[in-house]
Amino acid sequence: MDITGENNPARTAVIVNIQGFSLHDGPGIRTVVFFKGCPLSCRWCANPETLSAEPQVGFLETLCAGCGGCAAACPNGAIRTGEGDHRVDYARCTGCGVCVEACPDGALVRYGERMTVAEVWDEVRRDRIFYRSSGGGVTASGGEPLLRAGFVRELFELCREGGIDTCIETCGYASREALGEVLSVTDHFLFDLKLIDPARHRAHTGRENGPILENARLLAKSGADVLFRQPVIPGLNDSPDDIEATAAFLSGLGLETPRLELMPYHKLGQSKYRALGIKYPMDELGPDGHERAEQVQKAYLDRGIHCTVSR
């Protein structure tokens, strides 16, 4: 199989990060490939750098020494400095990363690099020894990896040939064709169920959830190994009605034992919003969701759902 990816858009993708030694993105020790670009805009998203499909430059204000080297280097005049003011003009910024290279203090960071399947495969296969000893493997995450289904399929075909376990972490908002393209080469799916009510789902994520629920049914019917996941966001999706609706949906999938993992909401992504000059959309929320998650877990267990809490 040709994996050079040269001059073939289907074989390249913008990758935010390739993170090794992960214990929370599928079974065993895993290497997680974070794809850039997401069809949703969840208000609680902890990874705003993955929302846009294009490379972006972020500014870490606390590291800036005010030397002005970035502004001088930028070929597009997209950086303003002086008098304690530093701003990236994202209308002009192309994410080229020239300013990042020019900054001696690491105050600028480039989110996203276009990579070929061959380049990603070269990175993930280096951790094979850890996969084999722990039952782990490679997880495609994001953003939304199903936006690059062809890329994921080719990467996972290489993983299969190399005896490496595969997993996709998805919001579920994708075409049936995209899901079908990766189904036969994916060992596990981590599938988000954020809200069941379509109007409220649209209000908080920017999209209705019809395609998500349909893809969940498709995966359940296919016999795929699926662990459903749900963020626990106090006051937003943890009411008795929300829990009842999600439990009813899971129970109606025809699975012998529906599995749900709760992901307590947290605010650890706030610094990345600042770096990208984006207003954090969840300032009105109080404490994170860890304490509430245990109460929600009990409610799901009472309804016959095998429910755990991510730690």
Give the pair of three-digit tokens for residue 166: 């595969």
pLDDT of residue 53: 95
Collapsing DSSP states into helix, strand and coil, what is residue 189? strand
What is the distance between the alpha carbons of residues 70 and 72, in angstroms, rounded to a whole number? 5
Q: Amino acid identity, residue 75?
A: P
Percent share of the chain, pLDDT over 90: 85
What is the distance between the alpha carbons of residues 160 and 150, in angstroms, rounded to a whole number? 15
Q: Please state, rounded to an integer, the average pLDDT across all residues of the chain.
A: 92
Q: Which of 4-8, 9-13, 275-279 has the highest mean pLDDT?
A: 275-279
Q: Amino acid identity, residue 185?
A: V
Strand order in the sheet with 259-264: 113-116, 12-22, 30-35, 137-141, 165-170, 188-192, 226-232, 259-264, 306-309
pLDDT of residue 11: 84
**Is the alpha carbon torsion for 205, 211, 213, 219 positive or negative?**
negative
Instruction: Report, as an integer, the average pLDDT of 256-284.
Output: 89
pLDDT of residue 7: 42
pLDDT band of residue 284 (cuts 50, 70, 90) is: low
Instruction: Report, as an integer, the average pLDDT of 134-149.
Output: 97
Domain with CATH 3.30.70.20 in the chain: 56-111
pLDDT at position 2 over 60: no
pLDDT at position 291 over 90: no
pLDDT band of residue 56 (cuts 50, 70, 90) is: very high
- Domain 9-53+114-309 CATH (choose: 2.60.40.3080, 3.20.20.70, 3.90.25.10, 3.40.50.720): 3.20.20.70
Query: Which tens digits make up the pLDDT trace of 224-238?
Result: 999 999 999 988 999
- Domain 56-111 CATH (choose: 3.40.50.1980, 3.30.300.30, 3.30.70.20, 3.40.50.720): 3.30.70.20
pLDDT at position 74 over 70: yes
pLDDT of residue 12: 95
> C-alpha dihedral over 108, 111, 117, 122, to 10 degrees?
50
Query: Which tens digits make up the pLDDT trace of 212-222?
Result: 999 999 999 99
pLDDT of residue 266: 84
Instruction: Report, as an integer, the average pLDDT of 29-50.
Output: 96
pLDDT at position 1 over 80: no
What is the distance between the alpha carbons of residues 7 and 268, in angstroms, rounded to a whole number? 38
H helix intervals, the chain: 69-73, 98-102, 117-124, 128-134, 149-161, 176-183, 198-205, 210-222, 240-251, 270-275, 290-302
What is the distance between the alpha carbons of residues 93 and 162, in angstroms, rounded to a whole number? 40
Instruction: Report, as an integer, the average pLDDT of 205-214.
Output: 97
* 142 touches 36 (CB < 8 A): yes
Domain with CATH 3.20.20.70 in the chain: 9-53+114-309
Query: Which tens digits make up the pLDDT trace of 78-124?
Result: 998 876 677 899 999 999 999 999 999 999 999 999 999 999 999 99
